[in-house]
Amino acid sequence: MISLFRFIVVYVLFVGVTLVIAFHKDMDVPINRPFSEFPQRLQSWRMTNQAEFSADVLSKLKPTDYLNRQYVDAGGKTVNLYIGFHGGGKDTGELHSPKNCLPGSGWYEVSSRRGEIRVPGGTINLVRAIYQKGESKELFLYWFQVRDRSISEEYSLKMAEIVNSAFHRRRDASFIRVSAPIDSEIDQTTAKCESFIRDFAPVIREFLPR
């Protein structure tokens, strides 16, 4: 009798999971505002270049919308900003971690550590990483944004996506990266990138859905 009861429970659970898989469908979440409206000037920063990805790169990344720009401040210090928003629809690609993409482009990791930075309105959890390619070294500050959460670790990103899919029927997420070549002291480069993030964090929130 007990064995029959266990069989019925397992069978019901199996049917339930099968039905969820068959009928569950995540929404395609739109971005709040297109990145074409992202400010070219803010505080002491102004845009000096905007790069477009090739069709081949876009076919791999499959972002819903993306931004790839260079900014310079009044003192001539430059930083690069990339934001890739993935709406979670069937035609949207997965987020790509720099730990996988950069080595594939010839960069190798010199150092990497997780931390946080205080910005207007809260705190951002991020990764501070240094990569080298030939004689060139570059600092990367990046994080994953899932709704109102900033995430600095790939496993936590996957868990957040699964939870949002199960309870909210959405898998939208963003990858945000600020980078700069290390042409002087690393502390100066870090301070420059963190200053940029503090200035732009409130603007970035306006574009991404919560």
Cβ(156)–Cβ(11) below 8 Å: no
Rounded to two decimals, the pTM is: 0.85
Residue 5 has pLDDT above 80, yes or no: no
Q: Helix and strand tally (H, E) in the chain?
A: 5, 9
The pLDDT value recorded for residue 18 is: 44
Q: Which of 5-9, 92-96, 116-120, 146-150 has the lowest mean pLDDT?
A: 5-9
pLDDT band at residue 20 under the 50/70/90 scheme: very low
Coil/strand/helix, residue 181: strand
Q: In Å, what is the CA distance from 135 to each residue of 80, 102, 106, 181?
A: 19, 15, 12, 11
The pLDDT value recorded for residue 207 is: 97
The pLDDT value recorded for residue 168 is: 78
pLDDT band at residue 28 under the 50/70/90 scheme: confident
Tens-place pLDDT, residues 34-43 = 999 999 999 9
Residue 98 has pLDDT above 90, yes or no: no
CA–CA separation, 40 vs 47, rounded Å?
5
- Average pLDDT over the chain, rounded to whole? 86
Tens-place pLDDT, residues 183-199 = 778 999 999 999 999 99
pLDDT band at residue 58 under the 50/70/90 scheme: confident
Q: Which of 1-10, 74-83, 140-149 has the lowest mean pLDDT?
A: 1-10
The pLDDT value recorded for residue 170 is: 86
Query: Which domains are seen in the chain, by residue range?
Result: 28-207 (3.40.1000)
Phi-psi region of 168 (alpha: psi -120 to 50; beta: other; left: phi over 0): alpha
Residues contacting 105, CB < 8 A, separation 6+: 133
Amino acid at site 118: R
